[in-house]
Amino acid sequence: TQLLEQSPQFLSIQEGENLTVYCNSSSVFSSLQWYRQEPGEGPVLLVTVVTGGEVKKLKRLTFQFGDARKDSSLHITAAQTGDTGLYLCAGGGATNKLIFGTGTLLAVQP
Amino acid sequence: NAGVMQNPRHLVRRRGQEARLRCSPMKGHSHVYWYRQLPEEGLKFMVYLQKENIIDESGMPKERFSAEFPKEGPSILRIQQVVRGDSAAYFCASSDWTGGSYEQYFGPGTRLTVT
């Protein structure tokens, strides 16, 4: 069974701080997607990484896919209150179905 | 450019009734997926469909649940004889090939409450 563990589970920080969220598995994935989900809404796709070692930047967010395609990280620089939400990583495989991580709930305090 | 549409957004059913959840994929997308998010649990894959075909239903409960994606019209997730344990948020996603992967875009979800 493929599992994706995210850490930390909860994170409460002050506006302006930096943070990193980790997504780890013992399985290899062909792609890794990061989503953010607000209460009562569906997950919103932030980025997709497909190549081992790949780094993608989206404004203050930096995403990295591990060399072995088993893990990923999301780094947020100078967090803002608008970054508050549930961050989910999801691994994709041969059949297209996504295996979702356990989630990281981020709260950015003003 | 409309995203993935789901309706209804909220659905209340009594135990034993049927629930029908509808999903219209993004324009141009031919792949539809259904996921379930139980209270205090993560998102779990249920089924993957293309037009008129079920590709992967490995996450679907063996009884009472069925899904279709007809040639015309939305995809339907049908739950017969609902029980309290079916109460959850059901999300539909759609995708198309982007050259590196099938990026999945999610709808707002249908929140099913079984009383």
Written as one letter, the residue type at B15 is R
Our CA-based measurement puts residue A86 at a distance from the nearest CA of chain B, in whole angstroms, of 11
Q: Taking CB atoms and an 8 Å cutoff, what residues of chain B touch A90? A: 43, 104
Are the beta carbons of A44 and B106 separated by less than 8 Å? yes
- Alpha-carbon distance A21 to A73, whole Å? 6
Phi-psi group of A69: left, alpha or beta (phi > 0 → left; psi -120 to 50 → alpha; rest → beta): left
Give the rounded distance of the alpha carbon of B97 from its chain centre: 20
Kindly state whether A91 is in contact with chain B, defined as any CB-CB distance less than 8 angstroms.
no
* Confidence bin at B1 (pLDDT 50/70/90): low
Region label for B65, one of left (φ > 0), alpha (ψ between -120 and 50) or beta (otherwise)? beta
Cα A39 from Cα B30, distance rounded (Å): 28
Tens of pLDDT, residues A80-107: 999 999 999 999 887 788 999 999 999 9
Q: Best residue in B37, B43, B54 to probe A by mutation, most A CBs within 10 Å?
A: B43
- How do residues B24-74 score in pLDDT, each as one tens digit? 999 988 899 999 998 778 899 999 999 889 999 999 999 999 999 999 999
Are B106 and B93 in contact by the 8 Å Cβ rule? The answer is yes
Q: Give the model confidence (pLDDT) of A23-55 as tens digits.
A: 999 999 988 999 999 999 999 999 999 889 999
